[in-house]
Structure 1
Amino acid sequence: MTLDDIPDHDDLSDALREDRPLRKARAYRIRFAVDGLKFRKLEVPDPIPLGRQILAAAGCNPNDNFSLFAILASGDFEDIRLDEPFDLRARGAERFVAFQTDRDYKLTLDNRQIEWGKPAIAGAALYKLAEVDDDEAVFLQKRGGTDQLVEPDDLMDLNEPGIERFITAPRPDATCIIVINSRPREVEDRHVTFEEVVKLAFPGAHDPNVIFSMTFRHAASKPHAGELAAGGFVKIKKKGTVFNVTRTVQS
């Protein structure tokens, strides 16, 4: 292979998905995030970069109190020191996260060791790390008590003494409260359809000439606000999603 034959980059995500070793390339593409889990593509020139090389490639000054972690295939976080080499070819890690902090907070998620660089972690981040199905949820274990259900909108404090331990388990059935035309209504499902909201707003039979229009806000799904059309649905919050439904008679 000549220098002209060497590709510009090889993507670690592609290599893992295709179950193959990294190919020789001018750069190696990983996924990188700062202070959270919003990952972006990042290229490093060496298949065995130092921690400081990964930070420098991301535009982060290694001297600015950054902690760097690799998220291993097991889901565990591994601390990468500035002058420690990390072999991309052998470790099976495609995602790296850095925190600008002088303190790391330890927690576990289904017995996976996670180190977080902030004194609180969003429920949404826990769900992203857990990769749970829609019928599962994240819980904070309470020793000697009832485990606390964690919703994506929650912010979990990591300043408490000891290591916070989170687990995933089937989501319990729970009633949700939505507001339709200024009136609270109870629903059993976190996914509410246009037709279900219409029935709650205007019970009973409807003249075929009646047309309904609907807007929503404070939804759990994205976008969090907008218009909902017939046949559509939104994922609601446990409490606080608002719908406004109007009806007009078509002449």
Structure 2
Amino acid sequence: MTPDQTCFKVKIDDSMFEFGETMVTGHQLLTIAHKHPLDEHIIYQKLKDGQFEEIRLEESVDLSQPGLERFKTFRSAESYRFTVDGRKFEWGAPVITGRRLKKFADVAPDTYDVWMNVRGKGEDQIISNREEVRLDTPGLERFYTEQVSITIIINGRPHEINKRSLSFTELVQLAFPNVQPAPNTIHTIVFKNGPEENPQGSLVEGQTIIISERMIINVTKTDKS
């Protein structure tokens, strides 16, 4: 590439690559990413609205548009379709995590839950960030997101929380919202009725706990002097 040539950067999976031309094919993208044999791989482009669109080997992509173009590859001959919040998406693997579903929905993973609509009379299933759900079962899988809303009890008073974890500092602020931090004050936090990750115990400064509905947390403060 000569010094006066324009360089177009793309991100394929987790790696960055450069092209000296505005139009590149799916074949070129898979080749530069060393995805061989080419006919055993598929590549998706992440669109501006968060959806992923398959790019065929002979299909061209324009790299001159504003912003970094992002792509995802899979070693697969199939793609799997599903919906999140009523929008249709495609994925190149038979399983997908809750965190990836939230990325498709463009919601914050810590403040939103994602649910799988269970066909028939079964109850809908919540999918945690690290949990994998299969997309290759018969029928179209449907997912939806909802903002987290958890009521916990801090020092005997209910608090509605819109995320699934709280830090030591956040709990202190919730317990004593109008009290300024003081160097001579020591806070102690104990909890019970928590989720299986941390059912009961104590919390020290710098730590974070997972919260659950009607979890009981007591925060006390003492003066070192």
TM range (shorter): 0.5 to 0.7
Structure 1 residues 169 and 188: alpha-carbon distance in aligned structure 2, compared to 1, 3 A threshold: closer
**Which residue type is aligned with residue 54 of structure 1?**
L
Structure 1 residues 88 and 139: alpha-carbon distance in aligned structure 2, compared to 1, 3 A threshold: same
Rounded to whole Å, the distance in 2 between the matches of 1:138 and 1:81 is 30
**Alignment equivalent of 2:115, drawn from 122, 139, 146:** 139
Check if 1:128 corresponds to 2:108: no
CA RMSD of aligned residues (A): 4.1
The 5-angstrom pairing of residues 1-251 of structure 1 reads 4-6=3-5, 25=6, 27-33=7-13, 39-63=14-38, 65-89=40-64, 94-133=69-108, 134-143=110-119, 146-171=123-148, 173-174=149-150, 190-194=164-168, 229=205, 232-234=206-208, 236=210
What SS is found at the alignment partner of 2:102? helix
**Which residue type is aligned with residue 142 of structure 1?**
V
Rounded to whole Å, the distance in 2 between the matches of 1:158 and 1:115 is 10
Instruction: Confirm or deny: 8 A CA contact 1:73 1:93 kept in the other structure.
Output: no
* Post-superposition CA distance 1:137-185 (Å, at most 9, x none): 22212345543222102211112111111122222x3479xxxxxxxxx
Instruction: Confirm or deny: 8 A CA contact 1:72 1:93 kept in the other structure.
Output: no
Rounded to whole Å, the distance in 2 between the matches of 1:50 and 1:81 is 8
More strand by share: 2
Structure 1 residues 174 and 87: alpha-carbon distance in aligned structure 2, compared to 1, 3 A threshold: same
What SS is found at the alignment partner of 2:22? coil
Pick 1 or 2: higher relative contact order, CA cutoff 8 A, min separation 6: 2
Instruction: Confirm or deny: 8 A CA contact 1:72 1:91 kept in the other structure.
Output: no
Rounded to whole Å, the distance in 2 between the matches of 1:117 and 1:45 is 28
Show structure 2 runs of 5+ residues with no match: 153-158, 173-183, 190-196, 214-223
TM-score (norm 2): 0.65
Show structure 1 runs of 5+ residues with no match: 7-24, 34-38, 177-186, 198-208, 220-226, 240-249
TM-score (norm 1): 0.59
Q: Which residue of 2 aligns with 1:18?
A: none
**Which residue type is aligned with residue 151 of structure 1?**
S
Identity rate, percent: 33
Structure 1 residues 114 and 91: alpha-carbon distance in aligned structure 2, compared to 1, 3 A threshold: farther
Structure 1 residues 151 and 51: alpha-carbon distance in aligned structure 2, compared to 1, 3 A threshold: same
How far 1:70 moved relative to its partner? 0.8
Structure 1 residues 106 and 92: alpha-carbon distance in aligned structure 2, compared to 1, 3 A threshold: farther
Would you say how many aligned residue pairs link Structure 1 and Structure 2? 192
